[in-house]
Chains A and B, each alone.
Chain A
């Protein structure tokens, strides 16, 4: 577990150094200031707030029994929005499953996301995956899998393919601290290092993998230092500092596009909620562990920054919340009145063309009795 005290320290020797851009008073350090316009910061702030509101509303929907599940990003908005923002239009992102805010920022439509949460007929994944396992190729955003780390080697292969085809792009992959224990992390880092793929490994070190703290994932002092063994440069960044996240991700993206190969970013943040709606963090971690992180809430920090510049008012805050609430309610209403996917759709897309046995089984389903309504 990374404490905020350690997190705020900037005096450790590498690779313990943690990049900060924002001082406690909301001003920016010259060294890591990404040079955003005030309007850009306002837009990013809006995306962060929007992410949090949607997160909270989805948890409520799950508690009401209207959706089956949600896996949120409470407290990790700066890490997600900042890193996704640093990716250019031609770049690609392979998500873990906790980064919907980044997808929405890159053009994934809220309605499409909510359709996925309900698994209805309009869901691009055709109701085949559980909530938060959406697909949105048009946002240059990968399809989501539940098993840990599988997207990492795929993201490296994707970046490698672009390099083989001599296309200039970077491919960022999200994963958590728990994924660094997987064989996929090793394979991905090793292949990326050997073939110098234009990859950005973005580790959201949020302290917990469901109930297991980081001390049970590794005996290393940091996750970033694992890069050394693979010949992959690495950096630790304050993951609750929007500006620092953007600065280090931009540098990694630039290195990738310039042929300099991969970078491992360890973003120090904190999972302020449970692992998912199925989890109760009070069973395994002390309630007072959360408090120092509330003080370093990534959204509050950006708001303080904007307010210090006179660029954000309480009225704007209120208007934003009303706007997002309205959009959310409308999307949910649409999703709830959309029927489930057709029975026959269960047998589509297994293969490009439906073979005889799936045609046969589809007919058996259609001509048979219907299942009781389970949920």
Chain B
């Protein structure tokens, strides 16, 4: 075991998989010599060379479109989109091409590929360096969407994603890139892409979170305990396909649900989770489910801490659910 932060753990996963499988290619803006603007790909260019760690022209559509072609050839491209806020020029290639290739070709053309991109706010990045766009990708059939919260999961989930036969969007919560530290095994291991994890067991209220907001949920849980409310916190890890069993099992136990995400509320992923819980466990609910999310506004710069669904907003929602 080694102490690592998220950046180091993801870097470790990339290095390990590139050494193991020469089909794995990293490409993107500034991923080469400088090692990425967050240094996630640091050292890979020196180790694997120009053909496998590629600084590309500044065009997200070009990066993803050519990466899809590489995947069709049989490589395993791991393109980086520098900030998820920049992903939209590649949206057509992701949701209408990459996500549909296996289906539209009757299985003749699968695409094994992972798009890595930092997500989320709280880093003084303003609208164009802070968004958390999972819902826009979950809605389109054919993609898997992953968002780890800690170094152990980040490494294991990335290795699993690269080896997964389907295209994966790998969202990296940049607010905790360096803040989240933990023990990470050396060498190879994977974390199951179909399983959420219970980060804290409790019996009164279920809080569902992922990425950087997991820590806000855990903080709210500690404070709720001081008020006599026993909170269970689920870290989804893989957002889609959702581990519905873990969610339903918890809600059946607690009867109360709070869903947390940074993205705007309306048509956000929380709405889908609440709907699924209502369909599958409605008569186990003791209180109306509550969503604690970003507001339905563009992501603000100066007031970003008021935008984010931090602990101080999760706590009253948990108390409200518990008391209902």
A373 CA to B67 CA, complexed, in Å: 40
Contacts of A126 in B (CB 8 A): 106
1/0 contact string of B140-157 vs chain A (CB within 8 Å): 011010000000000000
**Given A351-B166, A356-B244, do A153 and B108 touch, yes or no (CB 8 Å)?**
no
Contacts of B71 in A (CB 8 A): 157
Is B165 a contact partner of A187 (Cβ separation < 8 A)?
no
Contacts of A129 in B (CB 8 A): 104
Is A350 a contact partner of B142 (Cβ separation < 8 A)?
yes
Is B61 a contact partner of A145 (Cβ separation < 8 A)?
no
* Interface bracket on B: 35 or more
Please tell me which one of the listed residues A128, A160, A357 contacts residue B69 in the complex, with CB atoms under 8 A apart: A160
Tell yes or no: A216 within 8 A of B by CB. Answer: no
Please tell me which one of the listed residues A125, A142, A165 contacts residue B75 in the complex, with CB atoms under 8 A apart: A165
Q: How far is the CB of A313 from chain B (nearest CB, A)?
A: 41
Contacts of B92 in A (CB 8 A): 147, 150
From 332 to 375 in chain A, residues with beta carbon under 8 angstroms from any chain B beta carbon are 348-352, 355-357
Contacts of A125 in B (CB 8 A): 104-106
**Given A135-B109, A160-B70, do A154 and B51 touch, yes or no (CB 8 Å)?**
no
Q: How far is the CB of A359 from chain B (nearest CB, A)?
A: 11
Q: How far is the CB of A161 from chain B (nearest CB, A)?
A: 4
Number of interface residues of A (CB under 8 A): 45
Is B105 a contact partner of A143 (Cβ separation < 8 A)?
yes
Is A153 a contact partner of B69 (Cβ separation < 8 A)?
yes
Is A154 a contact partner of B110 (Cβ separation < 8 A)?
no
Q: Which residues of B contact A (CB under 8 A)?
A: 25, 51-52, 56-57, 59, 61-62, 64-75, 77, 89, 92-93, 96-97, 100-110, 141-142, 144, 164-166, 194, 241-242, 244
Known: A125-B104, A164-B70, A352-B110. 10 other contacts (CB 8 A): A124-B105, A135-B108, A136-B108, A137-B108, A153-B61, A165-B75, A183-B61, A183-B89, A191-B56, A356-B244
Q: Which residues of A contact B (CB under 8 A)?
A: 94, 123-126, 128-129, 133, 135-137, 142-143, 145, 147, 150, 152-162, 164-165, 183-184, 186-188, 190-191, 194, 348-352, 355-357
| A–B Cβ pairs within 8 angstroms, 15 of them | A135-B109, A136-B108, A143-B108, A153-B64, A157-B66, A157-B72, A165-B75, A190-B57, A190-B59, A191-B59, A350-B141, A350-B142, A351-B241, A356-B241, A357-B242
